[in-house]
A and B are shown apart, each in its own frame.
Chain A
Amino acid sequence: QLQLQESGPGLVKPSETLSLACSVSGGSITINSDYWGWIRQSPGQGLEWLGSTSSSGSAYYNPSVKSRITISVDTSKNQFSLRLSSVTAADTAIYYCARQTYCSPLGCYGFTLAWFDPWGPGTLVTVSS
């Protein structure tokens, strides 16, 4: 059973770079039909997709953070990472990593017809001096 686990600092200073890693266990990160994504949830707010990448490095980013974000994959460690630069208090949130997959027992459909499953438990990152 595939499991994901986020790790990284819980406190980041304004203007610095937020860095998180997501370890994948119970399966390989190199499956062709899978992307690996980051989604955040501000306290009491809804969900915001930040970006997703394939194991080959094909990345898609939310335009609202595109200038500040990098998502990368380390296949040797079976993990992927998030870097978000120039953070402000508005970046304070629970950060979730998730597999974005578009293949089911009934077929394969493509990136925009995918779904996120499973999710990691999430990690709270606070931006404060």
Chain B
Amino acid sequence: QSVLTQPPSASGTPGQGVTISCSGSGSNIRSNTVNWYQQLPGTAPKLLIYRNNQRPSGVPDRFSGSRSGTSASLAISGLQSEDEGDYFCAAWDDSLNRWVFGGGTKLTVL
């Protein structure tokens, strides 16, 4: 059972948009910033969004993040087949004194 809760799956057709949610608590998402990682099949996770809504250099602006209270969201617009993979949210937890991750959401582009 992960500390941060994500839906196990999400899907959309090419060109559509999809949103992935991440639910936490006052000791993690409300108190600290949220990062999102993309893990394409057979590869290591890659930073997608940091500090709730910042995109690293090279990440397309089709990807955006937001945070409100104890929840965060990752929005992907203009879905492409190469977006298929797993997406994880993460934050520091002040009560557990460790980094916590969501269980991951498997994105399928139909």
Contacts and interface: CB of A to CB of B under 8 A. Distances in A.
Contact of A115 (B35, B43, B98, B100): B35
Contact of A119 (B45, B50, B90): B45
A129 interface: no
29 contacts: A46-B2, A46-B88, A46-B103, A47-B37, A47-B45, A47-B88, A49-B100, A60-B97, A62-B98, A64-B98, A96-B44, A96-B45, A104-B50, A106-B54, A113-B32, A113-B51, A115-B35, A115-B51, A115-B90, A116-B35, A116-B37, A116-B45, A116-B47, A117-B50, A118-B47, A119-B44, A119-B45, A119-B46, A121-B44
A43 interface: no
A16 interface: no
Contact of A46 (B46, B96, B102): B102
Interface residues of B, number: 27
Which of A46, A64, A113, A114 gathers the greatest number of chain B CB atoms within 10 Å? A46
A113 B33 contact: yes
Interface of A: 39, 46-49, 60, 62-64, 96, 104, 106, 109, 111-122
A47 B92 contact: no
Contacts of B96: 63
B107 to A, nearest CB: 15
